[in-house]
């Protein structure tokens, strides 16, 4: 699969480092982003062909998407002059965006009718994982297509997990994002309470890392909070979108998800306050504001 051109659409916070790692692994790229200046930020420009429209990327044997949300993916794939109309039979589309599992299954079906292979492959690990090539990749689709795409996944990820049929990768991603959001809000409440009561947050973190409250939020996001660095990272806006996907799936499947509904309101409140572009760890600032304290490292 090496020595081939890969089409890549979406050079944002995650897409740019993923595309860069593909170049470093020896692939050539046909790249498109709505912000054309982004293409110039890629390394090894001699291996990059800039596309001026998404359909120009369809000349590649494999096309990868890393787009913000379901509407953008549907437009690029199914819209007028989209990839569905322009990709050749037996080519492969890999969607690494985090979007609706329902929409993913619809896209997979329409691509299959045209003889185009498809994998949904959302990722976890944030911007640092994208930069370092250590992402966890959750993949849904046909097993033989998954096996064929391994060189691509290995160039950008560390844990590559086959989750099942089309849409399975997106379902696992929705579950992951839902749990991480609930963890973030739980940690924000608990640490704001503890600091208000007079205990240093780094002491609480040290203790809880060895206790039953240990979680990703405590390990990965609390150090960011203690340093008061709320630049993304993974934004409040994007995490809110993922929680909404979980609520939509729960509604469709008639599964009650009480905590998720409350967490969604917390994240929406941060958006209303103009903090949607901040790192998701900034959720704690809502609790700090109401409690009149800051969870920061003691000097």
Question: Could you tell me if 1 and 148 are in contact, meaning their C-beta atoms sit under 8 angstroms apart?
Answer: yes
Question: Can you list the alpha helix ranges (DSSP code H) found in the chain?
Answer: 15-24, 70-78, 83-86, 101-113, 126-132, 143-148, 150-156, 168-196, 201-208, 216, 222-226, 236-253, 258-272, 284-291
**Catalytic residue among 81, 90, 105, 173, which?**
173
237 vs 243: CA distance, rounded Å: 10
- Which token pair is 171? 């379902």
In a 13 Å sphere around the CA of 125, the CA atoms on its Cβ side amount to 23
Instruction: Give helix 70-78 / helix 101-113 axis angle, nearest 10°.
Output: 10
Strand partners, 239: none
Query: Any long-range contacts for 143-147 (C-beta under 8 Å, 24+ apart)?
Result: 145/92, 145/117, 145/118, 145/119, 146/119
Q: Burial of 274 by CB count in 10 Å (0-12 exposed, 13-18 middle, 19+ buried)?
A: exposed
94 vs 149: CA distance, rounded Å: 9
- Which token pair is 146? 């998954």
190 vs 226: CA distance, rounded Å: 14
5 is catalytic: no
Question: Could you tell me if 5 and 30 are in contact, meaning their C-beta atoms sit under 8 angstroms apart?
Answer: yes
Write out the catalytic residue numbers: 173
């Amino acid at each position: 699969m090496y020595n081939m051109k890969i089409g890549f659409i979406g050079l944002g916070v995650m897409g740019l480092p993923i595309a860069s790692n593909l170049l470093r692994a020896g692939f050539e790229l046909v790249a498109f982003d709505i912000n054309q200046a982004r293409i110039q930020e890629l390394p090894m420009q001699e291996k990059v062909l800039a596309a001026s429209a998404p359909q120009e990327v369809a000349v590649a044997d494999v096309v990868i998407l890393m787009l913000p949300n379901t509407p953008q993916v549907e437009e690029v794939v199914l819209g007028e002059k989209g990839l569905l109309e322009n990709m050749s039979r037996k080519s492969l589309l890999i969607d690494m965006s985090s979007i609706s599992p329902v929409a993913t299954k619809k896209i997979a079906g329409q691509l299959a009718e045209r003889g185009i292979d498809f994998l949904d492959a959302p990722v976890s690990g944030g911007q640092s994982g994208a930069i370092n090539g250590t992402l966890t990749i959750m993949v849904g689709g046909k097993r033989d297509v998954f096996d064929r795409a391994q060189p691509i996944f290995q160039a950008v990820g560390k844990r590559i997990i086959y989750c099942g049929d089309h849409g399975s990768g997106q379902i696992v991603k929705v579950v992951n994002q839902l749990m991480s959001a609930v963890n973030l809000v739980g940690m924000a409440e608990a640490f704001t309470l503890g600091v208000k009561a007079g205990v240093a947050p780094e002491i609480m973190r040290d203790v809880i890392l060895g206790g039953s409250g240990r979680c990703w939020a405590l390990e990965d996001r609390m150090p960011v909070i203690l340093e008061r660095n709320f630049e993304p990272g993974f934004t409040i806006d994007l995490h809110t979108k993922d929680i909404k996907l979980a609520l939509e799936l729960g509604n469709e499947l008639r599964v009650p998800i009480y905590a998720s509904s409350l967490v969604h309101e917390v994240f929406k409140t941060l958006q209303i306050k103009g903090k949607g572009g901040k790192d998701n760890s900034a959720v704690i600032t809502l609790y700090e504001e109401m409690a009149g304290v800051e969870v920061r490292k003691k000097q």
